[in-house]
Chains A and B, each alone.
Chain A
Amino acid sequence: MKKYFLMILLLLLLTLSLQAQDRDVRNVFFDTLRTSDFQPTPIGVDDMKFIGTSTPSHEDSVLMLYTTRIIQRDLDFYADFELVQIDSFYLRTYEITVLDLLGWMRLGANYVVKLETEFPGRNMKVKWRLYHTVSSQQIDRGEFEYNRAFWREIGHDIANEIVHTLTGEKGIFRTKIVYMRRLSQAKELFMADYDGANEHQLTENGSINISPCFDPNQELVYFISYMEGDPQLYKVEINSGVITKVAGYPGMVAAPAVSPDGKRIACVLTKDGNSEIYVLDTEGRIIKRLTRTRAIETAPTWSPDGRYIAFSSDRTGAPQIYIMDADGLDQHRVTYNGIWNDSPIWSRRGDRLTFVSRTKYRRFDIASADTSGHDFRILTEMAMNENPHFSPDGKHIIFSSNRLSAGDIYTMDISGRNRRRITTTGDCSNPYWGPVK
């Protein structure tokens, strides 16, 4: 009987001591919280001033205005910045004729870009200065001089310099995008600046050309073409426009994805009767077969370090996202949200996957989750949205959507905000954002 009493007494003491410890130790538990109080940096761009000896011609004045607009649009596009607009009501109220740094600061701008230009010969020379309004300090300056025909490039280069000065990262405003557009019965590849300007046709074979992707050096575009009947892998040299066949196998070749080092191409082959993922070299020779199931495996995408490949597979019924090592080992499912997830793309940081998800409204939306499948977020909320791809800095997503037309290319921040329509012709899809040179 004494034993029982002793045991009960011990249990009571143990419980009391644990309670006492609970009061002393901080109650810490683990969760995933994202800092939400980040605010984009407000930046203003002043009107460009002419510093030549004579008054500028009408054409020069238009160039000055357009170049300023390019810089403003670029900085406004960048996810880390927010363009401060000149508030005419404020200017009238306080009778401000010249916006100085103090005036810009009152408008809410932390930084201001001041621009001056002159037109030596056929060239356009723009000097830029970046100021910190709070400290009235000049942070950086520079100048670009190109032929007048390249006024857009001057604007983009200045915006790139400002991004680099303030963030340390390379600006993306001189990058290219490539996409597919339907032309009557054919589907041809087009290339344009990141904002849709300077569009030109890459392929003109009257066939179906789809799934373009850049090599890391931005000299080649790999794509799938039906020009010889079955879909096979080709490449086009961007400068010369020369098209070469890379790989041809029985059945079809689909969904090419170039590795970050540019030496391997993950793609889908059906030569054995089923859709499986293979890794090829740049000459089209098979290095390794990565998947071996009866299901359909497709849409491979490389992790930024080239060590993993994400892909979609319907081995459990409906397409879901999986990750495997680059040699095909350790295949595991990532997405459990949504009944249908496809077309994964790995973020540049390597911590998230963006993909197409069919929602309960039977709509295709761009969604995002971390590489363990948690923190699932839907980034679009209208129409059909497909073919997502990241910008080189990983801060923006390009995708195709039929929200306003039969299909156009759009961009948005990775948070889903700041959406822009890049093409307006319709019948466009399969966008791919090229690297920074």
Chain B
Amino acid sequence: MKRDLLLSILLHVCVIAATFVTSPFETSRQVDYGETIRVSLSAMPQFSAPEPEPVTPLEIPQALEEEPMDIPIDDPASKPEAEIEKSVPEPKPEPKPKKPYQPQTPEGDQSQAGAAEGEIEASSTSGGSPFAGAIVDNASFNKYPYWYDQAFNKILRSWNNPVVSDGAIVCVVYFQVIKSGRMIESRVEKSSSIPAFDDACIAALKRADPFPPLPRDFREEIIGITLPFKYEPR
């Protein structure tokens, strides 16, 4: 202990001494600017501008005639005259109408639809919707795609995502809606492992409540929807 103390004091003394010893050299340090040169300013002599030389036009070499390339190009100008006449007067085609919705019956060919039983029609959940892949308990409810459009729009508007992540986050929730459009149950089916994100999903459902009333000709009193909330980093 005593030895360590002495060693520490000795080191401190050395540092302080070194500081004092080197300080005089610091002040004497001067910048060497080299030889001083005195300069006197005087007017510049007048120069007469030289006569401009006659400009001779540049000789542009003739472009070499391009040889037709072997690559076939789908250019109407390169087509024979008869073909062009055909294509010019053709009226602008009307915009293609969207394929009308075909009600999907529970007995229908599921493999043809490419969706699992109860999976909500793609047109209602795709197109950048964060709710793609939603599943409804009662598959016959898929006859009413407007309901999903409206309900998911409300949820989307009510959703305040509290999380930013560099990886994708998914929380799957389940909720039930009765005939009047009131939500009677909501729960996290599969957690995202981020409590704030899960809470935000449930809060969005509660804020979106009430949902549009179930269609009059839909006989069931209640529907249950499994809805994935997805966050993907941009």
Per-position 1/0 for B156-167, Cβ under 8 A of A: 110111111111
Mark out the residues of chain B between 165 and 215 whose CB falls within 8 Å of any chain A CB in the assembled complex.
165-167, 180-181, 194, 196, 207, 210-213, 215
Question: Which one of B128, B146, B156 lies within 8 Å of A132 (CB-CB)?
Answer: B146
Give A34's nearest chain B residue, CB to CB: B160
Residues of chain B within 8 A of A137, CB atoms compared: 101, 143-146
A239 in the interface (beta carbon within 8 A): no
* Bound CA span A168–B213, Å: 6
Please report the C-alpha to C-alpha distance between residue A167 and residue B147 in the assembled complex, in whole angstroms.
Answer: 9
In the bound complex, how far is the Cα of B98 from the Cα of A168, in angstroms?
27
The answer to the question of A165 belonging to the interface, with a C-beta cut-off of 8 Å to chain B, is: yes
A26-37 CB contact bits vs B (8 Å, 1 = yes)? 111111111101
Chain B, residue nearest A25 (CB):
B167
- Residues of chain B touching chain A, judged by Cβ–Cβ distance below 8 Å, are 94-95, 97-98, 100-101, 123, 128, 143-146, 149-150, 153-154, 156-157, 159-167, 180-181, 194, 196, 207, 210-213, 215-216
A139 touches B101 (CB 8 A): no
Q: Knowing A32-B160, A41-B150, A134-B123, say if A26 contacts B212 (CB, 8 Å).
A: no
- Sampled A-B contacts (9; CB under 8 Å): A30-B162, A32-B162, A37-B128, A38-B153, A106-B95, A135-B101, A137-B144, A165-B213, A169-B210
Check if B207 sits within 8 Å of A349, measured CB to CB. Answer: yes
A165→B212 contact, CB < 8 A: yes
Selected contact of A41 from candidates B144, B153, B161, B213, CB within 8 Å? B153
Are B163 and A28 in touch, CB under 8 angstroms?
Answer: yes
Q: Are B100 and A168 in contact (CB under 8 A)?
A: no
CA distance A197 to B7 in the complex (A): 95
CA distance A421 to B180 in the complex (A): 35
A106, B96: Cα distance in complex, Å: 9
Please tell me the number of chain A residues within 8 Å of chain B, measured between CB atoms. Answer: 34
Knowing A105-B98, A134-B98, A168-B213, say if A35 contacts B146 (CB, 8 Å).
no
Question: Which residues of B lie under 8 Å from residue A418 when comparing CB positions?
Answer: none
Q: How far is the CA of A365 from the CA of B98 in the complex (A)?
A: 45
- Taking a contact as CB atoms under 8 Å apart, the answer to whether A35 and B154 are in contact is no
Query: Does the CB pair B164–A31 fall under 8 Å?
Result: yes
**Chain A residues with CB below 8 A from B196, complex form:** 30
**Which residue numbers of A lie inside 8 Å of B, CB to CB?**
26-35, 37-38, 41, 80, 94, 102, 105-106, 110-111, 132, 134-137, 139-140, 164-169, 349
Q: How far does the Cβ of A396 sit from chain B's closest Cβ, in whole Å?
A: 15
- 4 additional A-B pairs beyond A29-B164, A134-B100, beta carbons within 8 Å, are A38-B153, A134-B101, A134-B145, A137-B143
Q: B183 → chain A, closest Cβ, in Å?
A: 10
**Which residues of A lie under 8 Å from residue B211 when comparing CB positions?**
168
Asked whether B161 lies within 8 Å of A33 as measured between CB atoms, the reply is yes
Q: How far is the CA of A41 from the CA of B163 in the complex (A)?
A: 27
Q: In the complex, what distance in Å separates the CA atom of A168 from the CA atom of B154?
A: 10
- The distance in angstroms between the C-alpha atoms of A32 and B162, with both chains bound, is 5
A139 and B156 contact, CB distance less than 8 A: no
Contacts of A169 in B (CB 8 A): 210
Minimal Cβ-Cβ distance residue in A for B151: A168
- The reply to whether A167 and B163 contact each other, CB–CB distance below 8 Å, is no
Name the CB-closest residue of B to A131: B146
Complex interface: chain A residues within 8 A of B212 (CB):
165-168
